[in-house]
Amino acid sequence: MSNKIKNNCFLLVLWLVIANNLTAQDLKLWYNQPAIKWTEALPLGNGRIGAMVFGGVDNDRIQFNEETLWTGEPRNYSRPGAYKYLDSIRQLLFAGKQKEAEALAWTEFMGLKSFEAEKTSWINEVIANKKYIAEGFDDSQWKKMTVPSWDGWETVGFEGLDGAVWLRKSFVLPNDWEPKDMLLDLNRIRDHDYTYVNGVLVGTQQNTEGRKYAIAKENLHKGKNTIAVLVLNFFDKGGIYGYKDTVNHIGIYPLNNEVAKISLNGEWNYYIVNDNPPAVGTFQASYQPFGDLNLKFDNTNGFINYKRELDISNAIATTSYSVNGINYKREYFISAPSQAVVTHLAANKKASINFSAILSSPHKNYTIKQLNSKTIILSLKVRNGALEGKSYLQLLLKGGSLSFSNDQLKITNADEATIYLTAGTNYKNYHDVTADPSLPCTNALESIGSKTYQQIRSAHIIEYQKWFNTFSISLGSENNKLLSTVERLKNFAHGNDPSFAALYTQYGRYLLIASSRPGTRPANLQGIWNDLLNPPWGSKYTTNINAQMNYWPAELLNLSPMHQPLFDMIDELAVTGKSTARDHYNAPGWVLHHNTDLWRGTAPINASNHGIWVTGGAWLCQHLWEHYLFTQDKNFLRQKAYPIMKEAALFFNSFLIKDPQTGYLISTPSNSPEQGGLVAGPTMDHQIIRNLFSNVIVAAKLLNTDAALTSSLSEKIKQIAPNKIGRYGQLQEWMKDIDDTTNKHRHISHLWGMYPGNEINYDDNPAMMNAAKQSLVYRGDAATGWSLGWKINCWARFKDGEHAFKMIKMLLTPVKGDAGSYPNLFDAHPPFQIDGNFGGAAGIGEMLLQSHTNYIDILPALPDAFASGEVKGICARGGFVLDIKWRNSKLQQLKIISKAGQPLLLRYNGLVKNISTVKNGIYKFDASLNKL
């Protein structure tokens, strides 16, 4: 090798070493193609408004949400007098009559549904016109729909369609057809059908069971025959579902000769008779999409150098490309100070910006009107509910001209364009819908006033970074930044890209800041992002794991203020939950079951086998307490947390009853989410209630109050059924030793006491810890997205970094039907559910730092893949903020700020260090925990 080459190599290596040490964190998601699917688009949010940016070149879709647009209205969710059945349900459970208990609970103990309209007259009206059944009816002018659609016609272009729809299709019987009775097999139809063949009714069903209708040979003939199906869909997914296994077609075949099936898959002609069916009662409301801004561009053919990215260091998305030698750049962000989605379009040649801006909404009931030369207004009303929305769009140009026609704004030959998109609803709070939906919009546009784009942009960055910059993480080489996010996701499980896990951690923080700023509503099942009128599980708040998981990273990863929206919701639930405690249990205090929504429903929903689960509120109280532990904010404890925790404890103080068999106090009726049915005494409940009682006791002592209550709770704690080790060495999920070691259920509820609780840990009870581990081993690794997130945290608590990392790889895997991540790194249950993002980010934090026992454990579960790295701003209980640096799997440096002056008990690799601290004191340690 020549000296020159050697020198160059040396310089290159040196440069790489320096670059690796000096490079900023890994903070960009980027792609070289526009998003086609929603889960490829990039999320933006300011806590109140959310948007998904597609970055298309000829059509750029910006789908947006406002956090208070939901179905439903303020109403009472609890069932008065339900408590009268409580004792009977308990007695049935004690007598081993689970099915009877569930049946009684279903009729007498569930919460109230929303108003359900009478259906008969509507059905009579839509079936009245019989002309569409006729064989000879000419449907050639009807439009086409692809049939079947397993997930409903919503997925084949009919989002939001509920109502009465005729679907018609012909099939041909050959000239040598010998008359035979046949079977028409359409499989599932939602919700109700009237099915005709050649004008004769062959069947009607009102359920989701398979449709197999016998067709008499007299009703068929050679040549063309016609099927006409009137589908009535009242709510949610609709249409002819067909078979989940798409190899199996819907069709018609001679009786007992399915192999001769004539397929009916394909295009059917359709006609919507009525798309306004009577309201269906629902237990809880659904989060709604708000609207779409589409930017349409001409002459984009032959574009090159396309790139879109999301820079989470400043919360700005960018799309850039070149056409005919002109470079175009669009920037998008959602400003909290300006309360608007901001889109800025620029080019490196004057007068090159030409496009149309089209504002629309998936809600059927919407209008567009022009306010002034630069502003248009979208107004909408949700179909099933009391909420209305307004969105104002204002366009400011440098150069060029603006015109409005056909509901579109047209921009011609501008040098630059800035779009401000705002949104508001009439939601004031969970019991009041009298707000003016225009107000947030007019306020926003007024505050934007004559500020320049650069001023708005800078204010946005300053506000965002105030939250984001409290924490940084790097996990080794960042060389893979050069690969697109899709490539990195594809390679992660098999490659060597630990920095991608660092990006994922920061992305979790980004998503929390985007969906849960102080003063806004908490992040729901999809954060703040939803494009569907009937989103999975209503995109609401499931409180038997999901809503809580959203907040696992909040304190640990230094986003404590983002926890605030959850506390505000708990405040409200403590009010609505009082009625449920009274109506369902004749008990004081408050209770929340396994779901809530914008209107703060707290009563049991869905079904009695899993909806009657009493510890949702108690689990939320753990978040109040943890916030105190991390921040040491006594005012918060006194004024906000303690009163609510106490009321929750008062509920359980009254609710717990003696198990006739064991004599322990137990929780019943309840369930171990969401399996095993309605039972007496699930382990998880007892762990959560113990956690609540002991936190209330410690809090009361700190606040010097309620001595009588704390002594009675202390007595009760001892009587609550304890954790037990079962015959397979497992931690028992139920009172009886009935765990099935082959059960792979996604919920690992009985591990709650280990994580996110802390009563099971290696310091206090290693045997129970081993039992918990054994339970998790039986449960296996594979799971839904959020369940993977939970298991990562569990393996971190088991101090098994390698296993935790294995599960991170499962989470950071492209979705192929099972759990993983979508191209935009949204977590896949599947479908998209954001909890896994937050659970995963928290889990990575938990591998680097734990503080749930008396100790602060440094690098407790470090996998080989994270051999070198640095984290700054990670938080521990007791009010400590830590910077940790390590190399070759060994601690190098540790810096700790003590925000509250609490004693510090550190542990690393068997070394223990105990020191006292002063408020705001800074403490540095070497690799052996010697103080520097």
Site residues, ligand FUC (CB under 6 A): 525, 537, 542, 546, 674, 746-747, 784, 786, 829, 833
Range 457-479 burial, b when 16+ CB lie within 10 A, else e: bebbbebbeebbebbbbbbbbbe
CB of 562 to ligand FUC, least distance (A): 21
**Number of CB atoms found within 10 A of residue 893's CB:** 15
CB of 784 to ligand FUC, least distance (A): 5
**In the complex with ligand FUC, which residue's Cβ is closer, 746 or 899?**
746
Sign of CA dihedral 107, 112, 113, 118: positive
Residues in Cβ contact with 165 at an 8 Å cutoff, skipping those fewer than 6 apart: 153, 230, 231, 233, 238, 239, 270, 271, 272, 273
CB of 101 to ligand FUC, least distance (A): 21
**In the complex with ligand FUC, which residue's Cβ is closer, 395 or 549?**
549
Give yes or no for a contact between 481 and 504, defined as CB atoms under 8 angstroms apart: no
Structure tokens at 121: 């007259």
CB of 288 to ligand FUC, least distance (A): 17
**In the complex with ligand FUC, which residue's Cβ is closer, 526 or 580?**
526
**In the complex with ligand FUC, which residue's Cβ is closer, 525 or 731?**
525
Give yes or no for a contact between 573 and 621, defined as CB atoms under 8 angstroms apart: no
Residues in Cβ contact with 211 at an 8 Å cutoff, skipping those fewer than 6 apart: 184, 185, 186, 187, 188, 189, 193, 195, 203, 205
**In the complex with ligand FUC, which residue's Cβ is closer, 501 or 834?**
834
CB of 609 to ligand FUC, least distance (A): 12
CB of 292 to ligand FUC, least distance (A): 25
CB of 620 to ligand FUC, least distance (A): 15
Q: How many CA atoms lie within 13 A of 346 on its CB side?
A: 8
Structure tokens at 161: 């369609």
**In the complex with ligand FUC, which residue's Cβ is closer, 695 or 784?**
784
SS (H, E, C) 387-438: CEEEEEEEEEEECCEEEEECCEEEEEEECEEEEEECCEECCCECCECCCCCC
**In the complex with ligand FUC, which residue's Cβ is closer, 122 or 541?**
541
* Cα 685 from chain centre: 24
CB of 822 to ligand FUC, least distance (A): 16
**In the complex with ligand FUC, which residue's Cβ is closer, 202 or 592?**
592
* Cα 714 from chain centre: 37
Strands 401-405, 223-233: pairing kind: unpaired
CB of 539 to ligand FUC, least distance (A): 9
Give yes or no for a contact between 10 and 797, defined as CB atoms under 8 angstroms apart: no
Compute the CA torsion angle 743, 746, 751, 756 (nearest 10 deg): 180
Tell me how far apart the alpha carbons of residues 123 and 661 are, in angstroms, rounded to a whole number: 53
Structure tokens at 479: 């060389």
DSSP letter string, 94-124: HTT-HHHHHHHHHHHTS-PPPP----HHHHH
**In the complex with ligand FUC, which residue's Cβ is closer, 308 or 746?**
746
CB of 542 to ligand FUC, least distance (A): 4
Beta pairing partners, 881: 875, 897
**In the complex with ligand FUC, which residue's Cβ is closer, 282 or 318?**
282
- Minimal CA–CA distance to 858: which of 803, 908, 897? 908
CB of 593 to ligand FUC, least distance (A): 12
**In the complex with ligand FUC, which residue's Cβ is closer, 761 or 784?**
784
Tell me how far apart the alpha carbons of residues 449 and 175 are, in angstroms, rounded to a whole number: 75
